[in-house]
Structure 1
Protein backbone atom coordinates (compact mmCIF):
# COMPACT_ATOMS: atom_id res chain seq x y z
CA UNK A 1 0.00 0.00 0.00
CA UNK A 2 1.46 3.43 -0.91
CA UNK A 3 2.43 5.66 1.98
CA UNK A 4 0.49 8.82 2.79
CA UNK A 5 2.43 11.93 1.81
CA UNK A 6 2.80 14.46 4.59
CA UNK A 7 3.81 18.14 4.50
CA UNK A 8 4.89 19.40 7.91
CA UNK A 9 4.49 23.10 8.71
CA UNK A 10 6.85 24.53 11.35
CA UNK A 11 7.84 27.92 12.73
CA UNK A 12 10.86 27.12 14.90
CA UNK A 13 13.25 24.41 16.01
CA UNK A 14 11.25 21.56 14.53
CA UNK A 15 11.60 19.06 17.38
CA UNK A 16 8.14 17.57 16.79
CA UNK A 17 8.87 17.59 13.06
CA UNK A 18 12.05 15.62 13.78
CA UNK A 19 10.10 13.06 15.82
CA UNK A 20 7.62 12.67 12.94
CA UNK A 21 10.39 12.44 10.35
CA UNK A 22 12.45 9.81 12.15
CA UNK A 23 9.36 7.77 12.93
CA UNK A 24 8.51 7.80 9.22
CA UNK A 25 11.72 5.87 8.57
CA UNK A 26 10.80 3.00 10.85
CA UNK A 27 9.52 -0.21 9.26
CA UNK A 28 5.81 -0.28 8.45
CA UNK A 29 5.23 3.45 9.02
CA UNK A 30 2.25 4.36 6.79
CA UNK A 31 3.39 7.91 6.00
CA UNK A 32 6.36 9.67 4.48
CA UNK A 33 7.44 13.28 4.88
CA UNK A 34 7.56 14.97 1.47
CA UNK A 35 7.98 18.59 2.59
CA UNK A 36 8.88 20.72 5.59
CA UNK A 37 7.59 24.26 5.16
CA UNK A 38 7.86 27.33 7.37
CA UNK A 39 6.64 30.90 7.68
CA UNK A 40 10.09 31.74 9.06
CA UNK A 41 12.92 31.34 6.52
CA UNK A 42 15.49 31.09 9.34
CA UNK A 43 13.67 28.36 11.29
CA UNK A 44 16.18 25.84 12.65
CA UNK A 45 13.92 22.95 11.70
CA UNK A 46 14.45 23.72 8.00
CA UNK A 47 18.19 23.04 8.34
CA UNK A 48 17.51 19.70 10.00
CA UNK A 49 15.03 18.72 7.28
CA UNK A 50 17.50 19.65 4.53
CA UNK A 51 20.26 17.67 6.27
CA UNK A 52 17.93 14.66 6.25
CA UNK A 53 17.23 15.05 2.53
CA UNK A 54 13.69 16.40 2.87
CA UNK A 55 12.44 19.13 0.51
CA UNK A 56 11.92 22.45 2.27
CA UNK A 57 10.01 25.64 1.58
CA UNK A 58 9.92 28.95 3.43
CA UNK A 59 7.99 32.16 2.93
CA UNK A 60 7.67 34.89 5.52
CA UNK A 61 4.15 35.92 6.49
CA UNK A 62 5.29 39.49 7.16
CA UNK A 63 3.48 42.04 5.04
CA UNK A 64 0.97 39.52 3.70
CA UNK A 65 -2.71 39.10 4.43
CA UNK A 66 -3.45 35.79 6.19
CA UNK A 67 -5.24 34.30 3.19
CA UNK A 68 -2.41 35.29 0.83
CA UNK A 69 0.23 33.66 3.01
CA UNK A 70 -1.95 30.58 3.42
CA UNK A 71 -2.22 30.35 -0.38
CA UNK A 72 1.58 30.40 -0.73
CA UNK A 73 1.99 27.66 1.89
CA UNK A 74 -0.85 25.61 0.39
CA UNK A 75 0.70 25.80 -3.07
CA UNK A 76 3.96 24.41 -1.66
CA UNK A 77 2.08 21.49 -0.08
CA UNK A 78 0.20 20.85 -3.32
CA UNK A 79 3.41 21.01 -5.38
CA UNK A 80 4.85 18.35 -3.05
CA UNK A 81 1.74 16.22 -3.74
CA UNK A 82 0.94 16.12 -0.01
CA UNK A 83 -2.12 14.21 1.18
CA UNK A 84 -1.94 15.70 4.69
CA UNK A 85 -0.71 18.90 6.30
CA UNK A 86 0.70 18.33 9.78
CA UNK A 87 1.26 21.33 12.04
CA UNK A 88 4.29 20.94 14.31
CA UNK A 89 4.89 24.18 16.15
CA UNK A 90 3.42 26.22 13.31
CA UNK A 91 2.63 29.49 15.03
CA UNK A 92 0.03 30.77 12.61
CA UNK A 93 -3.75 30.53 12.74
CA UNK A 94 -4.93 29.28 9.36
CA UNK A 95 -7.77 30.96 7.50
CA UNK A 96 -11.18 29.31 7.50
CA UNK A 97 -11.02 28.87 3.71
CA UNK A 98 -7.69 27.06 3.90
CA UNK A 99 -8.87 24.75 6.67
CA UNK A 100 -12.12 24.00 4.84
CA UNK A 101 -10.25 22.91 1.72
CA UNK A 102 -8.23 20.42 3.78
CA UNK A 103 -11.01 19.19 6.07
CA UNK A 104 -9.96 15.94 7.72
CA UNK A 105 -6.45 16.28 6.36
CA UNK A 106 -4.86 18.88 8.67
CA UNK A 107 -3.57 17.60 12.00
CA UNK A 108 -2.14 19.51 14.97
CA UNK A 109 -0.68 18.80 18.38
CA UNK A 110 -1.60 20.97 21.34
CA UNK A 111 0.13 20.99 24.76
CA UNK A 112 -2.91 20.36 26.94
CA UNK A 113 -5.59 17.77 27.50
CA UNK A 114 -8.18 19.32 25.22
CA UNK A 115 -10.85 20.55 25.53
CA UNK A 116 -9.06 22.13 28.50
CA UNK A 117 -6.81 25.13 27.93
CA UNK A 118 -7.16 25.99 24.26
CA UNK A 119 -4.76 28.63 23.03
CA UNK A 120 -1.64 29.78 24.88
CA UNK A 121 -0.10 29.43 28.36
CA UNK A 122 -1.50 25.93 28.78
CA UNK A 123 0.98 24.71 31.39
CA UNK A 124 0.59 27.74 33.66
CA UNK A 125 -3.18 27.45 33.43
CA UNK A 126 -3.13 23.74 34.34
CA UNK A 127 -0.87 24.38 37.35
CA UNK A 128 -2.93 27.36 38.52
CA UNK A 129 -6.11 25.29 38.30
CA UNK A 130 -4.60 22.63 40.57
CA UNK A 131 -4.85 19.92 37.90
CA UNK A 132 -3.17 16.60 38.61
CA UNK A 133 -2.22 16.14 34.97
CA UNK A 134 -1.13 18.17 32.00
CA UNK A 135 -0.50 16.54 28.68
CA UNK A 136 -0.81 16.74 24.93
CA UNK A 137 -3.56 16.20 22.38
CA UNK A 138 -3.37 15.36 18.69
CA UNK A 139 -6.46 16.65 16.93
CA UNK A 140 -7.91 17.49 13.56
CA UNK A 141 -7.79 21.17 12.66
CA UNK A 142 -11.06 23.04 12.23
CA UNK A 143 -11.74 26.76 11.79
CA UNK A 144 -12.37 27.06 15.54
CA UNK A 145 -9.05 27.13 17.43
CA UNK A 146 -8.04 23.83 19.08
CA UNK A 147 -11.56 22.41 18.70
CA UNK A 148 -11.29 19.64 16.11
CA UNK A 149 -11.90 15.96 16.77
CA UNK A 150 -9.41 14.48 19.25
CA UNK A 151 -7.36 11.65 17.77
CA UNK A 152 -5.19 10.75 20.77
CA UNK A 153 -4.02 12.18 24.10
CA UNK A 154 -1.33 11.46 26.65
CA UNK A 155 -1.33 12.53 30.30
CA UNK A 156 1.71 13.92 32.10
CA UNK A 157 1.64 14.13 35.89
CA UNK A 158 1.97 17.61 37.36
CA UNK A 159 4.47 17.49 40.23
CA UNK A 160 4.05 19.71 43.32
CA UNK A 161 7.23 21.63 42.46
CA UNK A 162 6.42 22.07 38.76
CA UNK A 163 6.70 25.40 37.03
CA UNK A 164 5.26 26.00 33.55
CA UNK A 165 8.77 25.44 32.15
CA UNK A 166 9.46 22.16 33.91
CA UNK A 167 6.05 20.80 32.99
CA UNK A 168 6.55 21.95 29.39
CA UNK A 169 9.80 19.97 29.15
CA UNK A 170 8.10 16.70 30.17
CA UNK A 171 5.08 17.34 27.96
CA UNK A 172 7.46 17.80 25.02
CA UNK A 173 8.92 14.34 25.68
CA UNK A 174 5.41 12.91 25.69
CA UNK A 175 4.59 14.75 22.45
CA UNK A 176 7.52 13.12 20.65
CA UNK A 177 6.01 9.70 21.42
CA UNK A 178 2.39 10.65 20.82
CA UNK A 179 2.47 12.59 17.57
CA UNK A 180 4.09 10.00 15.27
CA UNK A 181 1.86 7.24 16.67
CA UNK A 182 -1.33 9.27 16.34
CA UNK A 183 -0.48 10.39 12.81
CA UNK A 184 0.40 6.86 11.72
CA UNK A 185 -2.82 5.49 13.18
CA UNK A 186 -4.94 8.20 11.53
CA UNK A 187 -3.50 7.87 8.03
CA UNK A 188 -3.60 4.06 8.23
CA UNK A 189 -7.32 4.19 9.17
CA UNK A 190 -8.00 6.58 6.29
CA UNK A 191 -6.15 4.29 3.89
CA UNK A 192 -8.23 1.29 4.99
CA UNK A 193 -11.46 3.25 4.49
CA UNK A 194 -10.52 4.31 0.96
CA UNK A 195 -9.01 0.95 -0.07
Structure 2
Protein backbone atom coordinates (compact mmCIF):
# COMPACT_ATOMS: atom_id res chain seq x y z
CA UNK A 1 0.00 0.00 0.00
CA UNK A 2 1.24 3.50 -0.77
CA UNK A 3 2.07 5.90 2.02
CA UNK A 4 -0.87 7.29 3.95
CA UNK A 5 -1.14 11.06 3.55
CA UNK A 6 -1.28 13.32 6.60
CA UNK A 7 -4.49 15.30 7.06
CA UNK A 8 -5.29 18.17 9.39
CA UNK A 9 -8.93 18.68 10.38
CA UNK A 10 -10.26 22.15 11.24
CA UNK A 11 -13.27 22.41 13.55
CA UNK A 12 -15.19 25.01 15.53
CA UNK A 13 -17.67 22.86 17.44
CA UNK A 14 -18.61 19.25 18.14
CA UNK A 15 -16.93 18.02 14.98
CA UNK A 16 -19.28 15.21 14.00
CA UNK A 17 -17.77 15.10 10.50
CA UNK A 18 -14.36 15.09 12.14
CA UNK A 19 -15.43 11.99 14.04
CA UNK A 20 -16.50 10.32 10.80
CA UNK A 21 -13.09 11.02 9.27
CA UNK A 22 -11.25 9.76 12.35
CA UNK A 23 -13.29 6.55 12.35
CA UNK A 24 -12.61 6.01 8.64
CA UNK A 25 -8.88 6.56 9.15
CA UNK A 26 -8.75 3.73 11.73
CA UNK A 27 -8.82 1.35 8.77
CA UNK A 28 -5.16 0.72 7.87
CA UNK A 29 -6.17 0.60 4.20
CA UNK A 30 -7.64 4.11 4.31
CA UNK A 31 -5.27 6.41 2.35
CA UNK A 32 -5.18 9.19 4.96
CA UNK A 33 -4.12 9.47 8.57
CA UNK A 34 -5.32 12.25 10.84
CA UNK A 35 -2.23 14.14 11.97
CA UNK A 36 -3.90 16.90 13.98
CA UNK A 37 -7.27 18.43 14.84
CA UNK A 38 -7.27 22.21 15.24
CA UNK A 39 -10.05 24.36 16.67
CA UNK A 40 -10.45 28.11 16.67
CA UNK A 41 -12.69 27.83 19.73
CA UNK A 42 -11.33 26.67 23.11
CA UNK A 43 -14.70 25.14 24.08
CA UNK A 44 -15.10 23.01 20.94
CA UNK A 45 -16.38 19.58 22.05
CA UNK A 46 -14.65 17.90 19.13
CA UNK A 47 -11.25 18.53 20.72
CA UNK A 48 -12.14 16.20 23.60
CA UNK A 49 -13.08 13.44 21.17
CA UNK A 50 -9.87 13.82 19.18
CA UNK A 51 -7.74 13.74 22.34
CA UNK A 52 -9.54 10.61 23.52
CA UNK A 53 -8.57 9.00 20.22
CA UNK A 54 -4.92 9.83 20.80
CA UNK A 55 -4.81 12.43 18.04
CA UNK A 56 -2.73 15.59 18.39
CA UNK A 57 -4.83 18.71 18.96
CA UNK A 58 -4.25 22.44 18.94
CA UNK A 59 -6.46 25.34 19.96
CA UNK A 60 -5.80 28.58 18.13
CA UNK A 61 -8.33 31.05 19.50
CA UNK A 62 -9.19 33.53 16.76
CA UNK A 63 -10.10 36.10 19.41
CA UNK A 64 -6.44 36.25 20.43
CA UNK A 65 -5.38 37.74 17.11
CA UNK A 66 -5.63 41.31 15.95
CA UNK A 67 -6.49 40.40 12.39
CA UNK A 68 -7.80 37.60 10.23
CA UNK A 69 -4.44 37.42 8.51
CA UNK A 70 -2.55 36.98 11.78
CA UNK A 71 -4.86 34.13 12.78
CA UNK A 72 -4.45 32.43 9.42
CA UNK A 73 -0.67 32.66 9.67
CA UNK A 74 -0.77 30.96 13.06
CA UNK A 75 -3.10 28.30 11.67
CA UNK A 76 -0.81 27.71 8.71
CA UNK A 77 2.21 27.37 11.02
CA UNK A 78 0.38 24.80 13.15
CA UNK A 79 -0.49 22.71 10.10
CA UNK A 80 3.12 22.84 8.97
CA UNK A 81 4.35 21.76 12.42
CA UNK A 82 2.34 18.57 12.08
CA UNK A 83 3.56 17.92 8.53
CA UNK A 84 0.01 18.20 7.20
CA UNK A 85 -0.38 17.58 3.46
CA UNK A 86 -4.15 18.02 3.10
CA UNK A 87 -6.74 19.97 5.11
CA UNK A 88 -10.34 18.96 5.79
CA UNK A 89 -12.70 21.63 7.13
CA UNK A 90 -15.37 20.05 9.32
CA UNK A 91 -17.68 22.72 10.64
CA UNK A 92 -14.89 25.29 10.69
CA UNK A 93 -16.74 28.57 11.01
CA UNK A 94 -14.12 30.95 9.73
CA UNK A 95 -13.81 32.77 6.42
CA UNK A 96 -10.19 32.35 5.38
CA UNK A 97 -7.95 34.94 3.77
CA UNK A 98 -7.08 34.64 0.10
CA UNK A 99 -3.43 34.04 0.95
CA UNK A 100 -4.25 31.11 3.25
CA UNK A 101 -6.55 29.52 0.67
CA UNK A 102 -3.89 30.03 -1.99
CA UNK A 103 -1.24 28.32 0.15
CA UNK A 104 -3.44 25.23 0.41
CA UNK A 105 -4.88 25.40 -3.09
CA UNK A 106 -6.21 22.04 -4.29
CA UNK A 107 -5.24 20.47 -0.95
CA UNK A 108 -8.11 21.75 1.21
CA UNK A 109 -11.71 20.57 1.13
CA UNK A 110 -14.93 21.47 2.90
CA UNK A 111 -18.32 19.88 3.43
CA UNK A 112 -21.42 22.05 3.06
CA UNK A 113 -25.03 21.12 3.97
CA UNK A 114 -26.65 21.72 0.59
CA UNK A 115 -26.44 20.59 -3.00
CA UNK A 116 -24.13 23.33 -4.20
CA UNK A 117 -24.34 25.67 -5.98
CA UNK A 118 -27.76 25.92 -4.31
CA UNK A 119 -27.97 27.45 -0.83
CA UNK A 120 -24.51 28.78 -0.20
CA UNK A 121 -23.98 30.21 3.25
CA UNK A 122 -25.98 29.59 6.40
CA UNK A 123 -29.48 28.29 7.25
CA UNK A 124 -29.53 25.94 4.29
CA UNK A 125 -32.24 23.64 5.62
CA UNK A 126 -34.65 26.44 6.45
CA UNK A 127 -34.17 27.94 3.00
CA UNK A 128 -34.68 24.60 1.26
CA UNK A 129 -37.93 24.02 3.13
CA UNK A 130 -39.13 27.54 2.38
CA UNK A 131 -38.55 26.96 -1.34
CA UNK A 132 -40.42 23.65 -1.27
CA UNK A 133 -37.66 21.60 -2.90
CA UNK A 134 -38.05 17.83 -3.01
CA UNK A 135 -34.32 17.04 -2.85
CA UNK A 136 -31.68 18.46 -0.54
CA UNK A 137 -28.31 17.15 0.58
CA UNK A 138 -24.65 17.91 1.07
CA UNK A 139 -21.55 18.63 -0.97
CA UNK A 140 -17.82 18.08 -0.54
CA UNK A 141 -15.86 20.61 -2.56
CA UNK A 142 -12.34 21.93 -3.00
CA UNK A 143 -11.97 25.22 -1.11
CA UNK A 144 -11.66 28.47 -3.01
CA UNK A 145 -11.54 32.07 -1.76
CA UNK A 146 -15.22 32.65 -2.50
CA UNK A 147 -17.21 30.92 0.22
CA UNK A 148 -18.89 27.62 -0.73
CA UNK A 149 -17.44 27.54 -4.22
CA UNK A 150 -14.82 25.33 -5.82
CA UNK A 151 -14.75 22.06 -7.77
CA UNK A 152 -17.27 19.55 -6.44
CA UNK A 153 -15.89 16.13 -5.51
CA UNK A 154 -19.04 14.46 -4.22
CA UNK A 155 -22.67 15.07 -3.33
CA UNK A 156 -25.24 13.07 -1.40
CA UNK A 157 -28.93 13.64 -1.95
CA UNK A 158 -31.70 13.17 0.59
CA UNK A 159 -35.45 13.45 0.07
CA UNK A 160 -37.33 16.35 1.61
CA UNK A 161 -40.46 15.06 3.31
CA UNK A 162 -43.69 16.99 3.72
CA UNK A 163 -43.41 16.45 7.47
CA UNK A 164 -39.86 17.79 7.66
CA UNK A 165 -38.75 20.57 9.97
CA UNK A 166 -35.36 22.19 9.66
CA UNK A 167 -34.21 19.94 12.51
CA UNK A 168 -35.36 16.63 11.02
CA UNK A 169 -34.00 17.55 7.60
CA UNK A 170 -30.69 18.56 9.18
CA UNK A 171 -30.41 15.18 10.90
CA UNK A 172 -30.89 13.31 7.65
CA UNK A 173 -28.42 15.51 5.80
CA UNK A 174 -25.87 15.10 8.59
CA UNK A 175 -26.13 11.33 8.33
CA UNK A 176 -25.37 11.65 4.61
CA UNK A 177 -22.43 13.95 5.38
CA UNK A 178 -20.84 11.29 7.57
CA UNK A 179 -21.01 8.82 4.70
CA UNK A 180 -19.78 11.07 1.92
CA UNK A 181 -16.94 13.00 3.57
CA UNK A 182 -14.60 10.04 4.23
CA UNK A 183 -15.18 8.87 0.68
CA UNK A 184 -14.38 12.27 -0.82
CA UNK A 185 -11.26 12.71 1.30
CA UNK A 186 -10.00 9.30 0.23
CA UNK A 187 -10.44 10.26 -3.43
CA UNK A 188 -8.48 13.48 -2.91
CA UNK A 189 -5.50 12.11 -1.03
CA UNK A 190 -5.17 8.97 -3.15
CA UNK A 191 -4.80 10.99 -6.34
CA UNK A 192 -8.00 9.65 -7.86
CA UNK A 193 -8.36 12.88 -9.81
CA UNK A 194 -6.40 15.88 -11.05
CA UNK A 195 -7.56 19.42 -10.47
CA UNK A 196 -7.13 21.56 -13.55
CA UNK A 197 -8.37 25.05 -12.82
CA UNK A 198 -11.93 24.48 -11.68
CA UNK A 199 -12.37 21.07 -13.26
CA UNK A 200 -11.74 17.61 -11.83
CA UNK A 201 -10.39 14.94 -14.14
CA UNK A 202 -10.46 11.34 -12.91
CA UNK A 203 -7.20 9.42 -13.22
CA UNK A 204 -9.05 6.16 -13.86
CA UNK A 205 -11.99 5.41 -16.17
CA UNK A 206 -13.63 3.59 -13.27
CA UNK A 207 -14.11 6.86 -11.38
CA UNK A 208 -17.03 9.12 -12.23
CA UNK A 209 -16.88 12.67 -10.91
CA UNK A 210 -18.46 14.19 -9.08
CA UNK A 211 -19.50 11.17 -7.02
CA UNK A 212 -23.26 11.30 -6.58
CA UNK A 213 -24.96 9.32 -3.83
CA UNK A 214 -28.70 9.21 -4.61
CA UNK A 215 -31.54 9.96 -2.23
CA UNK A 216 -32.54 7.14 0.07
**Do the structures match in fold with TM over 0.5?**
yes
For 2:74 and 2:42, locate their aligned partners in 1 and report how far apart those are by CA, in whole Å: 13
For 2:115 and 2:97, locate their aligned partners in 1 and report how far apart those are by CA, in whole Å: 24
Q: Report what 1:18 is aligned to.
A: 19
Asked whether the equivalents of residues 187 and 193 of structure 2 are also in contact (C-alpha less than 8 Å), the reply is no
Aligned counterpart in structure 1 of residue 121 of structure 2, from 119, 122, 126: 119
For 2:142 and 2:38, locate their aligned partners in 1 and report how far apart those are by CA, in whole Å: 19
Aligned counterpart in structure 2 of residue 148 of structure 1, from 147, 150, 155: 150
Matches within 5 A, 1:115-194: 115-189=117-191
Deviation of 1:27 (Å): 3.8
Aligned counterpart in structure 2 of residue 90 of structure 1, from 86, 89, 92: 92
For 1:79 and 1:2, locate their aligned partners in 2 and report how far apart those are by CA, in whole Å: 19
Deviation of 1:190 (Å): 5.6
Matched residues, number: 193
TM-score (norm: length of structure 1) = 0.96
Asked whether the equivalents of residues 8 and 84 of structure 2 are also in contact (C-alpha less than 8 Å), the reply is yes
The alignment yields a C-alpha RMSD, in angstroms, of 1.4
**1:43-97 deviation digits (Å, cap 9, x = unpaired):** 1100110110000000111152111111111111100000011100000011111
Bigger shift: residues 67-76 or 135-144:
67-76
Segments of 4+ in structure 1 off by > 3 A?
190-193
Q: Report what 2:211 is aligned to.
A: none
Alignment gaps of 5+ in structure 2: 195-202, 204-216
For 1:82 and 1:190, locate their aligned partners in 2 and report how far apart those are by CA, in whole Å: 19
Larger helix proportion of the pair: 1
Bigger shift: residues 139-148 or 181-190:
181-190
For 2:177 and 2:114, locate their aligned partners in 1 and report how far apart those are by CA, in whole Å: 10
